[in-house]
């Protein structure tokens, strides 16, 4: 089950809706790979609404997009995980994404006056949209499927969406393979309320956010805590805290699990150095790759040996 390690595996999930989004496809992929057949999916109008449904207990988990290989991070998810009551990531899933230009049957490109989609999708298809619909207004929507739904309702002339959304809302594909950069992948994360963490697998990621102290060298000190322990970062991004200009939080993914001595030690150091740290989970990597080899000097055995030595010193034993 996706939330292995939690006391009760969720059976009710929220996702960025409406029906026909990439998030719905990613959720189906995740539950299928886990062999879960008894589950309910509830579409939500926004990432914030999906996360709120988890915080309220309305659902057990939410699947939301975190980053895209072409357009980078999804601000609504990054900010939503930092604001409000704590949540943790328990799984991730990678989903290849492709787009079609969809319209009501009988529509031609010359008929289209406005094209709608999620901002990330519009950005990934910017050049092709300008080529095919040079005079159309571009309208952002909450999701790609919401754009398809609005086109079906006659609110817009065309939508940039998944082929499954076009089919679900009775639209025809005017252009297939619309993306400027084919082969894009979106990373989705499964988010739950805090509980027992997924057990270490040997191929894990840990995610935290940290607000660094307002002093010279603070970011370098943060990075050094990972470097001296041989921990590789797989992602680091800054976001404004919205407190005042120049104060940022850093969203960080690193290799390893908080149960690993070196990772736990690094997070404890961040808690000591940073103005604020929020732990956002340790979970299996979607690609199942174990990451870079761990130097024996920073492995769990080395930490245990060092702690045993220090204990003997404190007890006055000859060492």
CATH superfamily placement of domain 100-175? Periplasmic binding protein-like II (3.40.190.10)
Hey, where are the domains in the chain? 8-97+184-195, 100-175, 197-319
Token pair of 18, please?
A: 């409406």
Separation between Cα atoms, residue 82 and residue 306, nearest integer Å: 35
Taking Cα atoms as reference points, which of 258, 277, 264 lies closest to residue 206? 258
**197-319: what CATH class?**
alpha beta
**CATH 3.30.70.240, domain 8-97+184-195, yes or no:** no
- Say whether 100-175 and 8-97+184-195 share the same fold: yes
Q: What is the pLDDT along the chain (319 residues), one digit of tens a residue?
A: 445 445 567 789 999 988 888 999 999 998 888 777 778 999 999 999 999 999 999 999 999 999 998 888 998 999 999 989 999 999 999 999 999 999 999 999 999 999 999 998 999 999 999 999 999 999 999 899 999 999 999 999 999 999 989 999 999 999 998 999 888 899 999 999 999 999 999 999 999 999 987 778 888 999 999 999 999 999 999 888 777 776 778 999 999 999 999 999 999 999 999 989 999 999 999 998 888 888 999 999 999 999 999 999 999 997 7
Helices (H) and strands (E) in the chain, counts: 10, 15
296: which residues sit within 8 A by CB, 6+ positions away? 302
């Amino acid at each position: 089950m996706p939330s292995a390690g939690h006391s009760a595996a969720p059976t009710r999930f929220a996702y960025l809706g409406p029906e026909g989004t990439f998030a719905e496809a990613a959720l189906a992929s995740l539950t299928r790979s886990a062999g879960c057949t008894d589950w309910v999916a509830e579409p939500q109008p926004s990432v914030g609404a999906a996360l709120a449904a988890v915080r309220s207990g309305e659902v057990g988990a939410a699947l939301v997009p975190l980053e895209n290989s072409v357009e980078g991070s999804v601000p609504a998810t990054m900010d939503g995980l930092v604001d409000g009551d704590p949540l943790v990531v328990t799984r991730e899933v990678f989903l290849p994404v492709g787009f079609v230009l969809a319209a009501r049957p009988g529509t031609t490109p010359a008929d289209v006056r406005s094209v709608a989609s999620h901002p990330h999708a519009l950005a990934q298809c910017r050049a092709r949209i300008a080529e095919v619909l040079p005079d159309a207004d571009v309208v952002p929507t909450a999701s790609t499927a919401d754009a398809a739904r609005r086109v079906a309702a006659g609110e817009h002339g065309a939508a940039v969406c998944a082929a499954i959304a076009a089919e679900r809302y009775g639209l025809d594909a005017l252009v297939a393979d619309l993306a400027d950069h084919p082969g894009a992948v979106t990373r989705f994360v499964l988010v739950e309320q805090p509980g027992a963490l997924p057990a270490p697998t040997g191929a894990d990621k840990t995610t935290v956010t940290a607000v660094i102290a307002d002093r010279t060298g603070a970011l370098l000190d943060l990075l050094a805590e990972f470097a001296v322990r041989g921990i590789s970062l797989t992602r680091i991004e800054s976001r404004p805290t919205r407190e005042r200009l120049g104060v940022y939080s850093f969203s960080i993914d690193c290799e390893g699990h908080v149960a690993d001595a070196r990772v736990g030690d690094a997070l404890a150091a961040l808690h000591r150095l940073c103005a604020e740290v929020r732990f956002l989970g340790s979970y299996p990597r979607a690609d199942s790759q174990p990451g870079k080899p761990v130097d024996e000097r920073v492995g769990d055995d080395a930490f245990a040996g060092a702690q045993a030595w220090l204990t003997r010193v404190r007890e006055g034993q000859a060492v």
